[in-house]
Structure 1
Amino acid sequence: MKVAVVYAAPPQPLQLSCQVEDGASVQQAIEQSGLLRFCPEIDLNKQKVGVFGKFVKLDSPLKEGDRVEIYQRITRVLDEDDDD
Protein backbone atom coordinates (compact mmCIF):
# COMPACT_ATOMS: atom_id res chain seq x y z
CA MET A 1 0.00 0.00 0.00
CA LYS A 2 1.11 3.57 -0.60
CA VAL A 3 1.67 6.01 2.28
CA ALA A 4 3.43 9.37 2.67
CA VAL A 5 5.96 10.34 5.33
CA VAL A 6 6.46 14.03 6.08
CA TYR A 7 8.79 16.08 8.27
CA ALA A 8 8.85 19.86 8.54
CA ALA A 9 12.61 20.11 8.22
CA PRO A 10 14.11 23.56 7.88
CA PRO A 11 14.40 25.23 5.44
CA GLN A 12 11.83 23.18 3.52
CA PRO A 13 9.48 20.35 4.55
CA LEU A 14 10.18 16.90 3.15
CA GLN A 15 7.48 14.56 1.91
CA LEU A 16 8.32 11.10 0.66
CA SER A 17 5.94 8.49 -0.70
CA CYS A 18 6.66 4.84 -0.13
CA GLN A 19 5.17 1.41 -0.61
CA VAL A 20 4.76 -0.68 2.53
CA GLU A 21 3.13 -4.01 3.22
CA ASP A 22 -0.49 -4.09 4.36
CA GLY A 23 -0.63 -3.58 8.12
CA ALA A 24 2.81 -1.92 8.26
CA SER A 25 3.47 0.21 11.32
CA VAL A 26 4.25 3.91 11.49
CA GLN A 27 7.87 3.10 12.36
CA GLN A 28 8.21 0.69 9.43
CA ALA A 29 6.92 3.35 7.03
CA ILE A 30 9.34 5.95 8.40
CA GLU A 31 12.27 3.56 8.05
CA GLN A 32 11.27 2.34 4.59
CA SER A 33 10.73 5.89 3.29
CA GLY A 34 14.44 6.70 3.70
CA LEU A 35 13.61 9.95 5.50
CA LEU A 36 15.98 9.18 8.37
CA ARG A 37 18.93 9.29 5.93
CA PHE A 38 17.99 12.85 4.92
CA CYS A 39 17.28 14.03 8.48
CA PRO A 40 19.69 12.32 10.90
CA GLU A 41 18.60 14.74 13.66
CA ILE A 42 15.28 12.89 13.98
CA ASP A 43 15.10 10.87 17.19
CA LEU A 44 12.03 8.66 17.13
CA ASN A 45 12.52 7.89 20.83
CA LYS A 46 11.96 11.57 21.69
CA GLN A 47 9.88 13.08 18.90
CA LYS A 48 6.16 12.57 18.55
CA VAL A 49 4.60 11.14 15.42
CA GLY A 50 1.10 11.28 14.03
CA VAL A 51 -1.18 10.34 11.17
CA PHE A 52 -3.16 13.19 9.62
CA GLY A 53 -2.58 15.45 12.64
CA LYS A 54 -3.42 12.95 15.38
CA PHE A 55 -0.73 11.59 17.69
CA VAL A 56 -0.11 7.86 17.33
CA LYS A 57 2.44 5.36 18.62
CA LEU A 58 5.25 4.02 16.45
CA ASP A 59 3.65 0.56 16.38
CA SER A 60 0.28 1.84 15.13
CA PRO A 61 -0.83 0.11 11.92
CA LEU A 62 -1.33 2.17 8.77
CA LYS A 63 -3.98 2.19 6.06
CA GLU A 64 -3.70 2.91 2.36
CA GLY A 65 -3.11 6.62 1.73
CA ASP A 66 -2.17 7.55 5.32
CA ARG A 67 0.18 10.50 5.87
CA VAL A 68 2.70 9.84 8.63
CA GLU A 69 3.98 13.02 10.27
CA ILE A 70 7.10 13.43 12.36
CA TYR A 71 6.81 16.46 14.62
CA GLN A 72 9.73 18.66 15.55
CA ARG A 73 10.56 19.02 19.19
CA ILE A 74 9.48 22.39 20.49
CA THR A 75 12.09 24.30 22.40
CA ARG A 76 11.74 27.66 24.03
CA VAL A 77 14.55 30.17 23.98
CA LEU A 78 14.32 32.73 26.76
CA ASP A 79 15.16 36.33 26.01
CA GLU A 80 16.68 38.60 28.61
CA ASP A 81 13.37 40.49 28.90
CA ASP A 82 11.39 37.34 29.74
CA ASP A 83 10.11 37.55 33.28
CA ASP A 84 10.16 33.84 34.03
Structure 2
Amino acid sequence: MRVEVVYALPQQQRLIALEVAEGTTAAQALTLSGVMTECREAADRLRMGIFGRTVEGATVLRDGDRVEVYRALLADPKEVRRTRVLAAKSRGC
Protein backbone atom coordinates (compact mmCIF):
# COMPACT_ATOMS: atom_id res chain seq x y z
CA MET A 1 0.00 0.00 0.00
CA ARG A 2 1.09 3.58 -0.58
CA VAL A 3 1.57 6.12 2.24
CA GLU A 4 3.37 9.45 2.65
CA VAL A 5 5.50 10.82 5.46
CA VAL A 6 5.69 14.60 5.86
CA TYR A 7 8.18 16.59 7.94
CA ALA A 8 8.51 20.37 7.76
CA LEU A 9 11.46 22.47 8.86
CA PRO A 10 11.32 26.28 8.84
CA GLN A 11 13.19 26.49 5.51
CA GLN A 12 12.10 23.27 3.79
CA GLN A 13 9.49 20.56 3.66
CA ARG A 14 10.06 16.86 3.12
CA LEU A 15 7.41 14.60 1.62
CA ILE A 16 8.44 10.99 1.24
CA ALA A 17 6.21 8.55 -0.64
CA LEU A 18 6.53 4.93 0.48
CA GLU A 19 5.25 1.53 -0.54
CA VAL A 20 4.68 -0.42 2.68
CA ALA A 21 3.17 -3.76 3.63
CA GLU A 22 -0.30 -4.12 5.12
CA GLY A 23 -0.10 -3.77 8.90
CA THR A 24 2.70 -1.17 8.89
CA THR A 25 2.46 1.26 11.81
CA ALA A 26 3.02 5.02 11.82
CA ALA A 27 6.30 4.58 13.73
CA GLN A 28 7.53 1.98 11.24
CA ALA A 29 6.73 4.32 8.34
CA LEU A 30 8.76 7.08 10.01
CA THR A 31 11.71 4.74 10.35
CA LEU A 32 11.43 3.54 6.74
CA SER A 33 11.24 7.13 5.46
CA GLY A 34 14.54 8.16 7.07
CA VAL A 35 12.89 11.13 8.77
CA MET A 36 14.01 9.88 12.19
CA THR A 37 17.63 10.55 11.25
CA GLU A 38 16.77 14.13 10.23
CA CYS A 39 14.92 14.98 13.44
CA ARG A 40 17.15 13.05 15.85
CA GLU A 41 16.90 15.69 18.57
CA ALA A 42 13.15 15.11 18.89
CA ALA A 43 13.00 11.36 18.30
CA ASP A 44 12.34 10.50 21.95
CA ARG A 45 9.42 12.94 22.29
CA LEU A 46 8.17 12.86 18.74
CA ARG A 47 4.51 13.62 18.08
CA MET A 48 2.84 12.51 14.89
CA GLY A 49 -0.53 12.50 13.24
CA ILE A 50 -2.45 11.31 10.22
CA PHE A 51 -4.16 14.09 8.25
CA GLY A 52 -4.00 16.49 11.22
CA ARG A 53 -5.24 14.05 13.87
CA THR A 54 -2.66 13.09 16.52
CA VAL A 55 -1.98 9.34 16.67
CA GLU A 56 0.29 6.96 18.56
CA GLY A 57 3.21 5.27 16.83
CA ALA A 58 1.44 1.91 17.06
CA THR A 59 -1.42 3.12 14.83
CA VAL A 60 -1.76 0.81 11.83
CA LEU A 61 -1.76 2.71 8.55
CA ARG A 62 -4.26 2.44 5.72
CA ASP A 63 -3.63 2.91 2.03
CA GLY A 64 -3.27 6.61 1.21
CA ASP A 65 -2.53 7.80 4.77
CA ARG A 66 -0.18 10.75 5.27
CA VAL A 67 1.90 10.54 8.44
CA GLU A 68 2.83 14.01 9.68
CA VAL A 69 5.69 14.71 12.10
CA TYR A 70 4.91 17.54 14.51
CA ARG A 71 7.74 19.70 15.83
CA ALA A 72 7.54 21.50 19.17
CA LEU A 73 6.16 25.01 18.96
CA LEU A 74 8.64 27.81 19.60
CA ALA A 75 5.93 30.05 21.07
CA ASP A 76 2.48 29.44 22.52
CA PRO A 77 -0.01 30.75 19.91
CA LYS A 78 -2.44 31.93 22.61
CA GLU A 79 0.29 33.90 24.37
CA VAL A 80 1.45 35.50 21.09
CA ARG A 81 -2.12 36.61 20.31
CA ARG A 82 -2.61 37.95 23.86
CA THR A 83 0.60 39.98 23.56
CA ARG A 84 -0.51 41.36 20.17
CA VAL A 85 -3.92 42.39 21.55
CA LEU A 86 -2.38 44.11 24.57
CA ALA A 87 0.09 45.98 22.33
CA ALA A 88 -2.75 47.14 20.06
CA LYS A 89 -4.78 48.35 23.06
CA SER A 90 -1.82 50.31 24.43
CA ARG A 91 -1.49 52.06 21.03
CA GLY A 92 -5.17 52.97 21.16
CA CYS A 93 -6.23 50.80 18.18
TM-score, length basis structure 2: 0.73
Query: Greater CA deviation, 27-36 or 61-70?
Result: 27-36
Q: CA deviation at 1:76?
A: 2.8
CA-to-aligned-CA distance 1:34-64 (integer Å, 9 cap, x gap): 1223333332x31210000000000000000
Where do residues 1-84 of structure 1 align in structure 2 (5 Å cutoff)? 1-43=1-43, 45-76=44-75
Distance, in Å, in 1 between the alignment partners of 2:36 and 2:47 is 15
Q: CA deviation at 1:16?
A: 0.4
Alignment length, in residue pairs?
Answer: 79
- Residue 24 of structure 2 aligns with an amino acid whose one-letter code is A
RMSD: 2.1
Overall identity of the aligned pairs, in % = 35
Q: CA deviation at 1:69?
A: 0.2
Instruction: Kindly indicate which of the two structures has a greater share of residues assigned to helix.
Output: 2
Moved over 6 A (4+): none
- Residue 14 of structure 1 aligns with an amino acid whose one-letter code is R
Matched residue, 2:90? none
Stretches of structure 2 lacking an aligned partner (at least 5 in a row) = 77-82, 84-93
Query: Greater CA deviation, 6-15 or 55-64?
Result: 6-15
TM-score, length basis structure 1: 0.80
